[in-house]
A and B are shown apart, each in its own frame.
Chain A
């Protein structure tokens, strides 16, 4: 009688929300990625800060930096969506407002990531 759960429930491992630990894991995986990428990001911003337009453009256009910048913006917007989702889940208890905010956050993060990736591709491939 110590365990009232059926073996099937344990095997599926989805929990009461039926989403399992997917959100938890992706939040951690993007966090580990950002641990390294954000250190590189600070370096690249400091490097770009005091060069002119051409210098900053050339810096981001380098394949190494362009790839890391795309990885950075994808990880940032993904991690931001997951984090903001939890904040809204915790503090917004009016159903229509909660759903509106959740969908707005997803749209904002996707558009931000898509626009940033397009910008990096234009910088790296254009001209």
Chain B
């Protein structure tokens, strides 16, 4: 994509994959995914303002297979970006820079994001079962 071809330093294909680079890459990827998700948020709010017919369309989309898959993906993206964001804020004030801490905190973020996603969807299905 650059306008002029220049020599490149070693990039992703050279290095052994490790948690430090995965958390960084996934933070950006989930950020982009969440930015795309704002479209649904905006549409849902506009539909809620517009009336029951428009809102029914949003509900139908969210209940469809593609809607459920997207919502599941956005739930995990939000959980991950939130927890990894906390990790980044702690690093901004100088905490967690030792390699051992970095690796442990990164895995905590990954595990925590899966737990949070499971919790949220447990709430969804519990409400559905109760309603």
Chain A residues packing against B (C-beta within 8 Å): 28, 31-32, 34-35, 38, 42, 46, 49-50, 53, 56-57, 60, 69, 73, 76-77, 80, 83-84, 87, 91-95, 97, 112, 115-116, 118-120, 122-123, 126
Chain A to chain B contacts (Cβ below 8 Å), 6 pairs: A35-B86, A94-B2, A112-B39, A119-B49, A122-B49, A123-B48
Q: Given A46-B123, A80-B35, A80-B38, are A115 and B3 neighbors across the interface (CB < 8 Å)?
A: no
Collect the chain A residues with CB atoms within 8 Å of residue B124's CB: 46, 49
Q: Is the CB of B42 within 8 A of A35?
A: no
CB distance from A76 to the nearest CB of B (A): 6
Q: Count the A-B residue pairs with Cβ separation under 8 angstroms: how many? A: 90
Question: Which 3 A/B pairs are nearest by Cβ-Cβ distance?
Answer: A119-B45, A93-B2, A122-B49
Cα A118 to Cα B45 with chains together (Å): 9
Q: How many residues of B contact A (CB 8 A)?
A: 33
